[in-house]
Every structure is written in structure tokens, then in C-alpha cells.
Amino acid sequence: MSDTATALRSKIDNQDALVGVIGLGYVGLPLALAFAENGFKVLGFDIDPAKIDQLARGESYIHYIDPQRIVDATRAGRLDATSDFQRLTEPDAILVCVPTPLTENREPDISYIQTTTEQMRSTLRPGQLVVLESTTYPGTTRELVMTQLEEGGLACGSDFFLAYSPEREDPGNPTFGPSTIPKVVGGTDETSGDLAEALYSKVVVQVVRVSSAETAEASKLTENIFRAVNIALVNELKTVYDDMGIDVWEVLDAAETKPFGFMRFNPGPGWGGHCIPIDPFYLAWKARQFGTPTRFIELAGEVNVEMPRRVIAKLQNALNNAGKPIRGSRILVMGLAYKKDVSDPRESPAFEILWQLQQLGAEIQYHDPHIPKAPDMRSWKELEIGESAPLSAEVLEQQDAVVIVTDHTDVDYDLIREHAGLIIDTRGVYRGMNSKIVQA
């Protein structure tokens, strides 16, 4: 180990290393708090000055993160945040947690990683460890990040150090957070891997060391492709069983009683979140460079992408049976978040459903107790839904249909059942036969 690496390792072991976190969103902020609460000083970076101001005031912009944690960390001098990226010279370890979405053609959009890498290259100094946490295709850390950083004149593995450790954040999960989820770590070289392993071992319950950054990148994609494929399977089963007049929820309840060989996944209106709708396309794109087909993975993507259209078709049929066209009908969509009890709207199928309804001429509203105002979304720029409508008997009785997209816990479903004339249930909230409830 070089003198530079030895000095950095000493700082990590003594918890004197300053940890920088780039991107203070759903991944970066919990990670920054985990390091701060485990004795490290943390400097967070974000391009959004509003987030920096809120953190300085001790406020949380992620609803399931207790603001007191931010107050305690800042008062103890363990957490600071800035939008000045020239301060990237200060941290000893820089953890990169920036978005990796898809382009309109469903190809990897790594522009955020590229921009961040360019910023780091201009400030990189000897003795810094860089760890990419953003989900991406195998090879990104070595082929893109390392190559660009070395263009600044420093050598990876001796002057600076580089590793990949995929985020495993599950927004809103009260049981598992950054410190309680095992952390996969792979370096671009052995020394980089050693330093990253040493850093994370101070904060997480278990570090899972793998042989390379590429292996770590692939492990993240595998985790989420596994979920994507099984979600597609159960969504397809829902469609088949529905055509047969069989309740898929009853089927799943029965199948789940088997104590081995079965893992339950629930159907829904599509897929959402920051990883599952994106990761399969990252691997499929990279596989094409090797001439390797990924038919199974791509088919799962097709099934899940199609689900919002099936919800619309079920709604149209139900309205037709009631003698109502969808154009001009008043539709209330329950839930914007991609899953229950969080305020995270990323890639939520609710937006595609609302967009299609708007295109069909319906009068649309939404209700979400966790998202009072609809955010601007990259893929649905012309969607006009405004603020969350109140959930009341009066509002429900004005609707021609209510579509349950996200099954938040703190919603009065009895009120909906009592006052809505037609309910399209995509989450199995209601069980049993009811003439005004349609499973979709």
C-alpha cells in the first residue's frame, strides 16, 4: 500500500476522514446521516439550493426522515451541506449518489455521472477515495469514471482510489436503512477496494467484498432485474386469471402458505421507483454491445410497461357498461407515489395512467396524502394535475370513477367504497364481490 493510501487508511480507521456525499436525495441524504451518526464529519453536495437551505434550517424534505436527525447532526458539527462544488477538494472520501434515468429511447442516461465526474476531475487531489453508488451498467466505474478522472493527471490506485458500491436504499422501510443493509463493495484495484471496504465497515452492519467494480455493478442490476421479472410474471398471471374469472389475490394468498420454493410478489398497475423500471434496460443496453440477447429481461419490461394501458382498458370497459364515455368523465386517481406510504413519485405508473386519461379527454384529479403538489416530471411535461384533491364524500360523489394506483395506509378506503360510484382497484385493497369494484 502506497504512502498516500496508508495515510487515507489511517484517517478512515480513526474516523478523521471527511466524507463527501454528492446528491442529497433519497439515497444521498440517508447515507450522509448514517455516516454523521456513526462519528464521521460529512459534507453534502447538491445542485438544488433549496435542499441546502432546508438542511441548514434543520428541515427534512424526505417525509420519512425525522428532521431531528438533521438537527442533531448539524448541531454536533457532523453534517454540513453546500452547492459549491469547488469544495470537493475538502473530503477525503467522495460518495456519488446521482440519478441514472433512461432517455426517451429507454437507453442509459449517464449524463449526471459524467457531469459529476468532470466536476471531481477539476478538484481531485492525491489521497481521495471516490465511490460511485448510482445504479449503472457494468463497466461504468472503470471505463467512464476512472478514465475521465485520470485525464486530470493523477493515477488511480496510487494517487487516488476508486470503487463501486451500489445503493440499496428502500424508501420508507422502517426496518432496513443504510446502516442495517449489507453493503456490496468492489474496487477498480485491490487497494481501492480495501479502502472502500474499510470506510463502509465503520457504518454498515456487513460489507460484502467482491472482486471488482464490474461485479458490484452487476450485482445491483441482478437484484432489481430479479424483482422486475417476478413483477412481470405476477402481472401476467393477474391478466390470465382475471380472464378466467379467478381472483389473483386469493391465488397468491393460497400459494404463499407453501413454506418453501415460493416467494410472493404482488401485481399492480405497473412498476415504479428509482431502480426496478430502469435497471433491466441498463443491462440490456450493455449486453447489446457484446451481441448477447436479453429476451427474457426485455419481455419482462414489455409486460410491466403495458400494465397502465390495461388499467385504462378496464376503466373504459367499466364506464362503457355504465353508459359513459371516458371523454368528459371525472376520474380521481388515488396515489402518485410509486409505492405505499412514501412521497417518492419517481417512475410511478400513476403518471402514465393520468397522462393517458388526459389524452383521452377525461377530467382528472389525484389524491395523495404524501404528495400535496404534483412535481414536474421529465417524461410527462404536459401533464396537468396540480394539487392533491381533498378526500371527502362530496369529492368522491362527483367522480365517475376512482382508480386506486397506490395503496397508502392512511387513506379512508371505507369512505371511498361508500361514496364512489365506480372503483378500479389495481392493488387488491378490496376483496370479495362488489358490483361497483373492478379489479384491474
Residues forming the active site: 275
DSSP element (H, E) containing 192: helix 190-201
What are 105-114's contacts with CB under 8 Å, separation 24+? 106/281, 107/281, 107/285, 108/136, 108/137, 108/281, 108/282, 108/285, 108/286, 110/136, 110/140, 110/144, 112/23, 113/140, 113/144, 113/145, 114/144, 114/148
Q: What is residue 86's DSSP assignment?
A: G
The 3-state secondary structure of 305-335 reads HHHHHHHHHHHHHHHHHCCCCCCCCEEEEEC
C-alpha dist (Å) from residue 285 to 196, 217, 280, 385: 28, 14, 9, 33
Amino acid (1-letter code) at residue 362: A
How far is it, in rounded angstroms, from Cα 31 to Cα 95? Answer: 9
How far is it, in rounded angstroms, from Cα 382 to Cα 277? Answer: 21
Contact partners, residue 124, CB within 8 Å, separation at least 6: 88, 130, 149, 152, 154, 160
How far is it, in rounded angstroms, from Cα 233 to Cα 265? Answer: 9
Q: Which of 160, 220, 152 has the alpha carbon at shortest distance from 186?
A: 220
C-alpha dist (Å) from residue 93 to 76, 90, 332, 384: 20, 9, 47, 42
**Cα Rg, the chain, nearest whole Å:** 24
For residue 69, what are the β-bridge partners?
A: none
How far is it, in rounded angstroms, from Cα 291 to Cα 199? Answer: 38
* Cα–Cα–Cα angle for 120, 41, 119, rounded to 5 degrees: 10
**CB neighbourhood size of 208 (10 A):** 15
